[in-house]
Chain A
Amino acid sequence: MASSIAISLDKCTGCSLCVKACPFGAIHMANKKAVIDMAKCTLCGACVTACKFMAIELKKDSGPKKDLSGYKDVWVFCEQKKGVIQSISFELLGEGRKLADKLGVKLCAVILGSGIESKASELSERGADKIYLVDHPALKSYQDDPYTEIIVNLAEEHKPEIILCGATTIGRSLISRVAIRINAGLTADCTGLDIDPEERLLLQTRPAFGGNIMATIITPNHRPQMATVRHKVMQEAAVDKSRKAELIIKHYPEEVLKSRTKLLEIVEEISETVNLSEADIIVAGGRGLGGKEGFEMIGELAKVLGGAVGATRGAVDADWIPYSHQVGQTGKTVCPKLYIACGVSGQIQHLIGMQSSKVIVAINKDPEAPIFKVATYGIVGDIFDIVPALTKEFARSLKK
């Protein structure tokens, strides 16, 4: 039986609550009854929840129940670069620990690399019960083919029920391929993860439409349940030196390690001292800065705070600062502890990229600027007065 959605004309009162609730604009009113445009409908069910009269019936065909009992444990794919385990891995271990405890299963770290055996202890200290480690020169740096093959092989052999992965350039490239190969469900950029204790389902909550709505997603009938999480969304697992994990070293034949693409060179560009998406503090500027000199001014503040410099698209398009600094829809998404927006009006495209920052400070001379609607602290005034004063004041207070 295929999935379907239908509106009961008897029950529909024409209240149009469902029209407002539909995130895809697929419902309209005709003759005081709701009508669903099936070309736009994605069967998400938002209207079903919104309807107060139980007039919408959604039948989701989940197919014949599969036996999923063979799958257990929570896995975390741990990313390493040049043999250094990336902090995203510790954040995922922190979150994975909670999920594993709720399910009463083991937390397993998976790590691939070359000459990394000594790194296993770092993963056990961060809460892993079991570590799957594959060590081979071909795995020194990330390459799509061998990494995919190995994760596929491991998952098929050991059958985890959950795999978590960082929403990094590596993670997103790798895990999307793995999900297809092992026919698993994958949810990107989760901001919240939880367990439905009855069904043992992973509840994956993620923003959609630039964070304007949130969706909770499950994978009812496929295993493993896979999710990616952005950097800095979850808390790092605390270090417990006393913890010991079971280390399982796996070996794979050459054909598994083969790569069709060839990594010729890794180029590091140190254009600034702090990577924007890694930064705990970002001082960002918009068109209000008026030019390159304005960015020098906020650069001073960023330097004092040990933070990075961000920019709006307007400032980037005006060539005041390179694109690598752009925050927002067509730039980077960031969630630092502190985001100081200087002369930023707060266009929706910019807000999308920074509104999950923990504390937002907005400085703008226009009291009506939309940025103040999301700011924790707002200062209405001239950035050219306030920013230098702040720089001086922070420099003074940090010296103490």
Chain B
Amino acid sequence: MDYLLTEQQVMMRDLARKIADEKIKPVAAHYDETEEFAWPIMKIIADSDLFGVYIPEQYGGLGGGVMDMCLITEEFSRACGGIALGYAGTGLGTFPILLYGSDEQKQRFLPDIAKGKRLAAFCITEAGAGSDAGSIKTTAVKDGDQYILNGTKQWITNAGEAEVYTVIAITDKTKGSRGASAFIVEKGAKGMEFGKKEKKMGIRASATREVIFTDCRVPAANLISKEGMGFIVAMKTLDNSRPGVAAQAVGIAQGALDHAVEYARTRVQFGAPISSFQAIQHMLADMGTQVEAARALAYATARMVDSGAKSISKESAMSKLFASDVAMKVANDAVQIFGGYGYMRDYPVEKYLRDAKITQIYEGTNQIQRNVIAGHMIKESLKKQP
């Protein structure tokens, strides 16, 4: 499928593909096994300038948008969804600053993120606040020109490895969701600690930890936008980042599919390559079509976001919902095509299945996405009523 990418986008994608093929693929199994954070790869991505694709040129980036970030995330994910998350998670942590930060905050933080010198992380989820983001307990209390943060964030991607954290905390309990605010907290702040590294089913090369704030003092200058804007910052951030999750899912699906096609071509049973059997051919055909449809939806959504469209929640949710379900199905079918070999960790496809699962869960479970989509559809229908 030709997505009419610009020349610059083709160059970016090819560079990301080169890094994925030459640098990430050979080490994907290693980092999956050891659950280490792939710093050498982050360094390579940093040197390639690709951390800056979605950051404006005036802040040291390449001036692209969500579409560009999706192209890169997809290529990295094709080789390893976990390593790709170190990249995409930084994007998620950066969006609050990019979308709502002041010029001063952008000057202060974006150039280092664009260069890949510092990774970022986004902190919203808590033990009691997953899908129900309204029940956040972490508080921020103003004290002179500082805020004092208290509370524990859970399952934070890039936690411990990143240097820049965007944190959603409650500044006014009485106002419900309008009482939340967003802050930038730098690693090393007094009163900020990390919990133990979580052991996960998939995306094991990515770091997931608790972030614990105990009387952690943050300069008031690090408040993003103004008090009470936290929930809007968070929702807009997720609207912008969901096409990235979709791209990650598309990459995982494509990676699994590539392995499946190659295996089907070379695996001989009953005296013929299994790709000559219609049962396998039909599976491959469905997988290929689904991946392409997911990609088309992800790209279309990303382009819509970049065009400056105001209401993107529904489409953003659709792209994430569809692509993650496709990733899960395609990776599952890839394992099936590999048969017994597919179940063995000596072979690469079972990892895609483990990596794919998270894309149905994080940044809003697919059930929440459906709620969002249906909610918008009903609202739109209501508006049409005279």
Q: Are B268 and A368 in contact (CB under 8 A)?
A: yes
Which chain A residue has the least Cβ–Cβ distance from B33? Answer: A291
Interchain residue pairs with CB less than 8 A apart (8): A290-B346, A314-B26, A317-B26, A318-B26, A318-B27, A318-B30, A368-B266, A368-B268
A267-291 contact mask (Cβ, 8 Å, vs B): 1 or 0: 0000000000000000000000010
Smallest CB separation, A316 vs chain B (Å): 11
Interchain CA distance A317-B22 in the complex, whole Å: 11
Which chain A residue has the least Cβ–Cβ distance from B30? Answer: A318
For chain B residues 18-39, which have a beta carbon within 8 Å of chain A?
A: 26-27, 30
Smallest CB separation, B334 vs chain A (Å): 19
Going nearest first, the 5 A-B pairs with the smallest beta carbon separation are: A317-B26, A368-B266, A318-B30, A318-B26, A368-B268
| Contacting residues, chain B, for A290 (C-beta < 8 A) | 346
Which chain A residue has the least Cβ–Cβ distance from B346? Answer: A290
| Contacting residues, chain B, for A314 (C-beta < 8 A) | 26
The range of chain A's interface size is under 10
Interchain CA distance A290-B347 in the complex, whole Å: 12
Interchain CA distance A368-B30 in the complex, whole Å: 26
| Contacting residues, chain A, for B346 (C-beta < 8 A) | 290
For chain B residues 258-291, which have a beta carbon within 8 Å of chain A?
A: 266, 268
For chain A residues 282-339, which have a beta carbon within 8 Å of chain B?
A: 290, 314, 317-318
Interchain CA distance A25-B104 in the complex, whole Å: 59
Interchain CA distance A342-B26 in the complex, whole Å: 20
Interchain CA distance A26-B304 in the complex, whole Å: 48
| Contacting residues, chain A, for B30 (C-beta < 8 A) | 318
| Contacting residues, chain B, for A318 (C-beta < 8 A) | 26-27, 30
Other contacts beyond A317-B26, A368-B266, A368-B268: 5, CB < 8 A: A290-B346, A314-B26, A318-B26, A318-B27, A318-B30
Smallest CB separation, B270 vs chain A (Å): 15
Smallest CB separation, A137 vs chain B (Å): 48
Interchain CA distance A318-B29 in the complex, whole Å: 10
For chain A residues 144-198, which have a beta carbon within 8 Å of chain B?
A: none
| Contacting residues, chain A, for B266 (C-beta < 8 A) | 368
Interchain CA distance A314-B27 in the complex, whole Å: 10
Smallest CB separation, A382 vs chain B (Å): 12
Interchain CA distance A290-B346 in the complex, whole Å: 9
Interchain CA distance A290-B344 in the complex, whole Å: 13
| Contacting residues, chain B, for A368 (C-beta < 8 A) | 266, 268
Interchain CA distance A314-B26 in the complex, whole Å: 8
Smallest CB separation, B218 vs chain A (Å): 41
Smallest CB separation, B192 vs chain A (Å): 34
Smallest CB separation, A373 vs chain B (Å): 15
Interchain CA distance A317-B25 in the complex, whole Å: 11
Smallest CB separation, A270 vs chain B (Å): 30
Interchain CA distance A314-B29 in the complex, whole Å: 13
Interchain CA distance A368-B266 in the complex, whole Å: 9
Which chain B residue has the least Cβ–Cβ distance from A313? Answer: B26
| Contacting residues, chain B, for A317 (C-beta < 8 A) | 26
Interchain CA distance A345-B27 in the complex, whole Å: 18
Interchain CA distance A314-B30 in the complex, whole Å: 13
| Contacting residues, chain A, for B26 (C-beta < 8 A) | 314, 317-318
Interchain CA distance A288-B182 in the complex, whole Å: 50
For chain B residues 346-365, which have a beta carbon within 8 Å of chain A?
A: 346
A368-399 contact mask (Cβ, 8 Å, vs B): 1 or 0: 10000000000000000000000000000000
Interchain CA distance A318-B27 in the complex, whole Å: 7
Smallest CB separation, B11 vs chain A (Å): 26
Interchain CA distance A90-B27 in the complex, whole Å: 45
Which chain B residue has the least Cβ–Cβ distance from A317? Answer: B26
Interchain CA distance A318-B30 in the complex, whole Å: 8
Interchain CA distance A314-B346 in the complex, whole Å: 15
B100-114 contact mask (Cβ, 8 Å, vs A): 1 or 0: 000000000000000
For chain B residues 334-386, which have a beta carbon within 8 Å of chain A?
A: 346
Interchain CA distance A57-B26 in the complex, whole Å: 50
| Contacting residues, chain A, for B27 (C-beta < 8 A) | 318
Smallest CB separation, B139 vs chain A (Å): 46
Smallest CB separation, A295 vs chain B (Å): 16
Interchain CA distance A368-B346 in the complex, whole Å: 17
Smallest CB separation, A304 vs chain B (Å): 27
For chain A residues 346-383, which have a beta carbon within 8 Å of chain B?
A: 368
Which chain B residue has the least Cβ–Cβ distance from A290? Answer: B346
A72-103 contact mask (Cβ, 8 Å, vs B): 1 or 0: 00000000000000000000000000000000
Which chain A residue has the least Cβ–Cβ distance from B27? Answer: A318
For chain A residues 118-164, which have a beta carbon within 8 Å of chain B?
A: none
Smallest CB separation, B26 vs chain A (Å): 5
Which chain B residue has the least Cβ–Cβ distance from A368? Answer: B266
| Contacting residues, chain A, for B268 (C-beta < 8 A) | 368
Smallest CB separation, A11 vs chain B (Å): 43
Smallest CB separation, B43 vs chain A (Å): 16
Interchain CA distance A317-B27 in the complex, whole Å: 9
Interchain CA distance A290-B30 in the complex, whole Å: 11
For chain A residues 22-64, which have a beta carbon within 8 Å of chain B?
A: none
Smallest CB separation, A246 vs chain B (Å): 58
Which chain A residue has the least Cβ–Cβ distance from B29? Answer: A318
Interchain CA distance A290-B266 in the complex, whole Å: 22
Interchain CA distance A368-B273 in the complex, whole Å: 12
Smallest CB separation, B128 vs chain A (Å): 42
Interchain CA distance A317-B24 in the complex, whole Å: 12
Interchain CA distance A151-B346 in the complex, whole Å: 56
Smallest CB separation, B150 vs chain A (Å): 44
Smallest CB separation, A205 vs chain B (Å): 36
Which chain B residue has the least Cβ–Cβ distance from A366? Answer: B266
Interchain CA distance A318-B26 in the complex, whole Å: 7
B280-313 contact mask (Cβ, 8 Å, vs A): 1 or 0: 0000000000000000000000000000000000
Interchain CA distance A131-B265 in the complex, whole Å: 62
Which chain A residue has the least Cβ–Cβ distance from B267? Answer: A368
Interchain CA distance A368-B268 in the complex, whole Å: 9
Smallest CB separation, B36 vs chain A (Å): 13
Smallest CB separation, A381 vs chain B (Å): 15
Smallest CB separation, B259 vs chain A (Å): 15
Interchain CA distance A84-B264 in the complex, whole Å: 57
